[in-house]
Amino acid sequence: MRILPGTSSTELGLNIASNLKIPLLELEFKYFVSGESYLRINGSVENQEIIVIQNTSPPQEKNLMELLLIASTLNELGAIRVHCLVPYLCYARSDKRRLTGEVTSHQITLDLIHKSGIDSLITANVHNPEIFLNTNKELKKYNIDCTQLLITKLEQSKGKDWFIVGPDKGRYNEVRNIAQNLSKPFATLDKYRDPHTHKVSVQDTGFDCRDKDVVIVDDEILSGGTVFAAIEILKQKKPSSITYFCVHALSMEEVFDKMKQVGVTDIISTNTIPRTDIEQLDITQLLSESIWENFL
């Protein structure tokens, strides 16, 4: 068993390998002037089981392509099994064909991963776990819930009276789980997305969080349309503070700046998408455990 840190996850790969005391395989890479990637795997892989650690965070297609190139090559070079750890799985949002002719990129991405010779995939907080787990049964899949890290973080905080809020009903189970773990109340707002215009509207569901420390729990953030609508509704309920948490912090810095301007006290994410402008909870230990459990 060896760990191969990919182009987009060098540091995470090194940390997980050191955590689990698994020997490393080195990847040599550079970019041609055209922008295409040159990749070379240094070290023997024949009859070895390899874990590739490669995020498909932005630029998604480049990072995914490099994962597919690495996996195919490991197979060509005689690896007996290839696993991959992809903290943020790209293209997972388009998982249902709502309108005729729509491309459901989630399933196609999983197929590409499997067809490139990957046997199993660990990812974190995939957009729709049910669809994820029921697509391409030949590819073994594990979805790690990083909100565990949030629970630990909230448990450790002192003098705060938490109230957990989901910005839409899709987050109900996740939000209930966090609230139950903390023995705190929770609620979800109601979100509607127009399938044609993709416009989102958010409605109040009549709960009371006055003088509570509200935590909005999200899976990923892009433009923040839903969240800003949610924040407006929450502010009218006069909470003591509003904390915003998301697993995958994909958005531009401006979105977080604007969030602070409208009254959000703290912004936290995991480092499934590493960045330095907000507080991040480290996924290394959690993902190491998942590799230990599922691959070793």
Interacting residue ranges for a second copy, rule: CB under 8 A:
28, 32-43, 45, 58-62, 64-65, 68-70, 72-73, 76-77, 90-91, 93-94, 99, 101-105, 108, 111-112, 115-116, 220, 222-223, 250-252
CB of 67 to a second copy, least distance (A): 11
What span, in angstroms and rounded, lies between the C-alpha atoms of 3 and 197?
A: 44
DSSP codes, 130-171: HHHHHS-TTSEEEEE-THHHHHHHHHH--S--EEEEESSGGG
The CB-of-148 to a second copy minimum distance in angstroms stands at 24
Smaller CB separation from a second copy, 73 or 128: 73
Closer residue to a second copy, CB minimum distance, 103 or 296: 103
* C-alpha 125 chain-centroid distance: 5
Q: Output 19 or 73, the one with its CB closest to a second copy.
A: 73
Residue holding tokens 């067809």? 115
Cβ at position 165, least distance to a second copy in Å: 22
* 8 Å CB contact between 150 and 184: no
Query: Looking at the DSSP assignment, which residues form a beta bridge with residue 266?
Result: 243
267 strand-pairing partners: 244
Q: Which token pair is 125?
A: 């907080």
Q: How far is the CB of 224 from a second copy (least distance, A)?
A: 9
Q: Which is nearer to a second copy, 21 or 36 (CB)?
A: 36
CA–CA gap between residue 264 and residue 256 (Å, rounded): 9
- Distance between CA 77 and CA 66 in Å, rounded? 16
Report, in Å, the least distance between residue 123 CB and a second copy: 15
CB 58, min distance to a second copy, A? 5
How far is CA 179 from each of CA 125, 143, 182, 239, 251, rounded to the nearest angstrom?
17, 20, 5, 17, 26
* Residues forming beta bridges with residue 61, ordered by sequence position: none
**What gap in Å lies between CA 71 and CA 65, rounded to an integer?**
10
Q: Which is nearer to a second copy, 251 or 280 (CB)?
A: 251
Return the number of the residue (101 or 159) whose C-beta is nearest a second copy.
101
Cα→Cα distances 142→18, 38, 130, Å: 22, 30, 11
For residue 295, the minimal CB distance to a second copy (Å) is: 22
Closer to a second copy by CB, 108 or 151: give it: 108
